[in-house]
Amino acid sequence: NEKSFEASQKLAEERGVFKNWDNSIYNGQVKIRNATRTSIAPTGTISIIAGTSSSIEPLFALAIHRENVLNNETLTEVNEVVIKYLKDKKLLTKEIESEIKKTGSIQNTNLPQEIKELLKTSLEIEPHWHIMHQVAFQKHTNNAVSKTINLPGSATVSDVENAYLSAWKMNAKGITIYRYGSKSQQVLHSGAEESDNQGSCKVCIN
Protein backbone atom coordinates (compact mmCIF):
# COMPACT_ATOMS: atom_id res chain seq x y z
CA ASN A 1 0.00 0.00 0.00
CA GLU A 2 2.82 2.41 0.91
CA LYS A 3 4.80 1.60 -2.24
CA SER A 4 1.79 2.10 -4.49
CA PHE A 5 1.16 5.45 -2.78
CA GLU A 6 4.77 6.52 -3.40
CA ALA A 7 4.54 5.47 -7.05
CA SER A 8 1.28 7.40 -7.47
CA GLN A 9 2.93 10.50 -5.99
CA LYS A 10 5.69 10.33 -8.58
CA LEU A 11 3.15 9.92 -11.37
CA ALA A 12 1.24 12.96 -10.07
CA GLU A 13 4.44 15.01 -10.30
CA GLU A 14 4.83 13.95 -13.94
CA ARG A 15 1.21 13.93 -15.16
CA GLY A 16 -0.87 15.69 -12.54
CA VAL A 17 -3.63 14.43 -10.28
CA PHE A 18 -6.71 12.50 -11.41
CA LYS A 19 -9.60 14.50 -12.92
CA ASN A 20 -11.96 14.55 -9.93
CA TRP A 21 -9.26 15.52 -7.43
CA ASP A 22 -11.00 18.67 -6.20
CA ASN A 23 -14.12 16.74 -5.14
CA SER A 24 -12.26 13.75 -3.71
CA ILE A 25 -11.31 12.81 -0.15
CA TYR A 26 -7.67 13.40 -1.13
CA ASN A 27 -8.05 17.12 -1.89
CA GLY A 28 -5.74 19.10 0.37
CA GLN A 29 -3.45 16.14 0.98
CA VAL A 30 -0.32 14.92 -0.78
CA LYS A 31 -1.04 14.87 -4.51
CA ILE A 32 -1.43 11.46 -6.12
CA ARG A 33 -2.23 10.34 -9.65
CA ASN A 34 -4.58 7.44 -8.86
CA ALA A 35 -7.82 7.56 -6.88
CA THR A 36 -7.44 3.85 -6.14
CA ARG A 37 -4.23 1.86 -6.19
CA THR A 38 -4.63 -1.46 -4.40
CA SER A 39 -7.11 -4.31 -4.35
CA ILE A 40 -7.31 -7.83 -2.92
CA ALA A 41 -8.24 -9.73 -6.04
CA PRO A 42 -10.04 -13.06 -6.39
CA THR A 43 -7.46 -15.84 -6.57
CA GLY A 44 -9.60 -18.97 -6.36
CA THR A 45 -8.39 -20.38 -9.67
CA ILE A 46 -4.84 -19.07 -9.91
CA SER A 47 -4.10 -20.24 -6.36
CA ILE A 48 -4.66 -23.81 -7.58
CA ILE A 49 -1.93 -23.33 -10.18
CA ALA A 50 0.41 -21.77 -7.61
CA GLY A 51 -0.37 -24.40 -4.99
CA THR A 52 -1.21 -21.81 -2.36
CA SER A 53 -4.17 -20.82 -0.22
CA SER A 54 -6.76 -18.53 -1.80
CA SER A 55 -6.13 -14.86 -0.99
CA ILE A 56 -7.21 -14.03 2.59
CA GLU A 57 -9.77 -16.83 2.68
CA PRO A 58 -9.71 -19.40 5.49
CA LEU A 59 -9.41 -22.96 4.22
CA PHE A 60 -12.66 -23.96 2.55
CA ALA A 61 -12.17 -27.51 3.86
CA LEU A 62 -9.28 -29.73 4.95
CA ALA A 63 -10.07 -31.98 1.99
CA ILE A 64 -11.98 -31.02 -1.14
CA HIS A 65 -13.07 -32.22 -4.53
CA ARG A 66 -13.51 -29.85 -7.45
CA GLU A 67 -16.02 -30.69 -10.14
CA ASN A 68 -16.19 -29.61 -13.79
CA VAL A 69 -12.53 -28.63 -14.15
CA LEU A 70 -9.95 -29.75 -16.71
CA ASN A 71 -12.34 -31.19 -19.29
CA ASN A 72 -15.05 -31.93 -16.71
CA GLU A 73 -12.77 -34.06 -14.57
CA THR A 74 -13.08 -34.14 -10.77
CA LEU A 75 -9.94 -33.18 -8.85
CA THR A 76 -9.47 -34.32 -5.25
CA GLU A 77 -7.15 -32.71 -2.76
CA VAL A 78 -6.26 -33.32 0.89
CA ASN A 79 -4.44 -30.49 2.65
CA GLU A 80 -0.97 -31.95 3.15
CA VAL A 81 0.07 -29.13 5.50
CA VAL A 82 -2.70 -30.16 7.90
CA ILE A 83 -1.80 -33.85 7.58
CA LYS A 84 1.86 -33.10 8.32
CA TYR A 85 0.92 -30.87 11.26
CA LEU A 86 -1.18 -33.62 12.84
CA LYS A 87 1.55 -36.19 12.17
CA ASP A 88 4.17 -33.98 13.81
CA LYS A 89 1.88 -33.59 16.82
CA LYS A 90 1.45 -37.40 16.85
CA LEU A 91 -2.30 -36.88 16.59
CA LEU A 92 -3.02 -38.39 13.19
CA THR A 93 -4.77 -41.75 13.22
CA LYS A 94 -6.35 -43.73 10.40
CA GLU A 95 -9.78 -42.78 11.73
CA ILE A 96 -9.00 -39.06 11.76
CA GLU A 97 -7.43 -39.17 8.30
CA SER A 98 -10.51 -41.00 7.04
CA GLU A 99 -12.79 -38.36 8.61
CA ILE A 100 -10.79 -35.57 6.95
CA LYS A 101 -11.05 -37.25 3.55
CA LYS A 102 -14.76 -37.92 3.97
CA THR A 103 -15.95 -34.59 5.42
CA GLY A 104 -13.06 -32.13 5.06
CA SER A 105 -13.29 -31.39 8.79
CA ILE A 106 -11.98 -32.54 12.18
CA GLN A 107 -14.76 -31.06 14.31
CA ASN A 108 -16.44 -34.44 14.91
CA THR A 109 -13.23 -36.18 15.99
CA ASN A 110 -11.72 -36.69 19.44
CA LEU A 111 -8.83 -34.29 18.77
CA PRO A 112 -8.09 -31.68 21.49
CA GLN A 113 -10.35 -28.63 21.41
CA GLU A 114 -7.45 -26.24 20.76
CA ILE A 115 -6.60 -28.19 17.60
CA LYS A 116 -10.23 -28.05 16.48
CA GLU A 117 -10.26 -24.29 17.03
CA LEU A 118 -7.04 -23.86 15.07
CA LEU A 119 -8.22 -25.92 12.11
CA LYS A 120 -11.73 -24.57 11.68
CA THR A 121 -12.70 -24.24 8.05
CA SER A 122 -14.68 -21.61 6.20
CA LEU A 123 -18.07 -23.21 6.86
CA GLU A 124 -17.25 -23.61 10.56
CA ILE A 125 -16.41 -19.96 11.22
CA GLU A 126 -19.18 -17.64 12.38
CA PRO A 127 -20.25 -15.26 9.56
CA HIS A 128 -19.58 -12.27 11.83
CA TRP A 129 -15.88 -13.20 12.02
CA HIS A 130 -15.66 -13.65 8.26
CA ILE A 131 -16.86 -10.06 7.92
CA MET A 132 -14.56 -8.77 10.68
CA HIS A 133 -11.67 -10.44 8.84
CA GLN A 134 -12.64 -8.78 5.57
CA VAL A 135 -13.10 -5.33 7.14
CA ALA A 136 -9.69 -5.55 8.84
CA PHE A 137 -7.94 -6.14 5.51
CA GLN A 138 -10.06 -3.52 3.78
CA LYS A 139 -8.46 -0.82 5.94
CA HIS A 140 -5.21 -1.38 4.08
CA THR A 141 -6.52 -1.46 0.52
CA ASN A 142 -8.43 1.07 -1.59
CA ASN A 143 -11.02 -1.15 -3.23
CA ALA A 144 -13.37 -3.73 -1.78
CA VAL A 145 -11.89 -7.07 -0.78
CA SER A 146 -12.61 -10.17 -2.81
CA LYS A 147 -13.72 -12.64 -0.16
CA THR A 148 -16.60 -15.07 0.13
CA ILE A 149 -18.67 -15.35 3.29
CA ASN A 150 -19.35 -19.08 3.06
CA LEU A 151 -22.51 -20.19 4.81
CA PRO A 152 -23.44 -23.84 5.42
CA GLY A 153 -26.33 -25.54 3.69
CA SER A 154 -28.33 -25.17 6.91
CA ALA A 155 -28.16 -21.34 6.79
CA THR A 156 -31.51 -19.56 6.84
CA VAL A 157 -32.78 -16.36 5.23
CA SER A 158 -32.17 -14.67 8.60
CA ASP A 159 -28.52 -15.79 8.57
CA VAL A 160 -28.01 -14.20 5.16
CA GLU A 161 -29.84 -11.04 6.21
CA ASN A 162 -27.77 -10.74 9.39
CA ALA A 163 -24.54 -11.13 7.42
CA TYR A 164 -25.49 -8.30 5.05
CA LEU A 165 -26.55 -6.06 7.94
CA SER A 166 -23.31 -6.76 9.81
CA ALA A 167 -21.27 -5.87 6.72
CA TRP A 168 -23.24 -2.64 6.30
CA LYS A 169 -22.81 -1.68 9.98
CA MET A 170 -19.06 -2.28 9.74
CA ASN A 171 -18.82 -0.16 6.58
CA ALA A 172 -17.67 -3.01 4.36
CA LYS A 173 -17.38 -1.83 0.76
CA GLY A 174 -18.81 -5.06 -0.57
CA ILE A 175 -19.82 -8.54 0.48
CA THR A 176 -20.20 -11.87 -1.32
CA ILE A 177 -22.23 -14.65 0.28
CA TYR A 178 -22.50 -18.24 -0.87
CA ARG A 179 -24.78 -20.77 0.84
CA TYR A 180 -23.29 -24.25 0.45
CA GLY A 181 -25.30 -26.37 -1.95
CA SER A 182 -27.56 -23.51 -3.08
CA LYS A 183 -26.67 -24.11 -6.74
CA SER A 184 -27.53 -27.29 -8.59
CA GLN A 185 -23.87 -27.43 -9.61
CA GLN A 186 -20.96 -26.02 -7.64
CA VAL A 187 -17.24 -26.42 -8.27
CA LEU A 188 -15.95 -26.83 -4.71
CA HIS A 189 -17.16 -29.51 -2.28
CA SER A 190 -16.10 -30.42 1.26
CA GLY A 191 -14.33 -33.77 1.49
CA ALA A 192 -12.08 -35.45 -1.04
CA GLU A 193 -14.65 -38.21 -1.42
CA GLU A 194 -18.02 -37.52 -3.03
CA SER A 195 -20.77 -37.52 -0.39
CA ASP A 196 -24.03 -35.85 0.53
CA ASN A 197 -22.27 -33.57 3.03
CA GLN A 198 -23.89 -30.14 2.92
CA GLY A 199 -21.66 -28.43 5.45
CA SER A 200 -22.56 -27.61 9.03
CA CYS A 201 -22.35 -24.59 11.27
CA LYS A 202 -22.83 -24.65 15.04
CA VAL A 203 -23.18 -20.88 15.20
CA CYS A 204 -25.79 -20.31 12.47
CA ILE A 205 -29.44 -20.00 13.40
CA ASN A 206 -31.48 -23.01 12.26
In degrees and rounded to multiples of 5, residue 52 shows phi and psi of -120, 175
**Residue-range domain boundaries for the chain:** 1-37, 46-190
Cα–Cα dist 142/155, whole Å: 31
Query: What is this structure's pTM?
Result: 0.77
Walk along the chain (206 residues) and give the pLDDT tens digit of each residue: 889 999 999 999 999 999 999 999 999 999 999 999 998 888 877 887 777 778 888 988 999 887 766 667 777 888 999 999 999 999 999 999 999 999 999 999 999 999 999 999 998 999 999 999 999 999 888 888 888 999 988 999 999 999 999 999 999 988 999 998 887 777 677 787 654 444 544 443 33
Q: What is the pLDDT of residue 28?
A: 92
Best CA proximity match to 18, nearest among 30, 5, 35, 6? 35
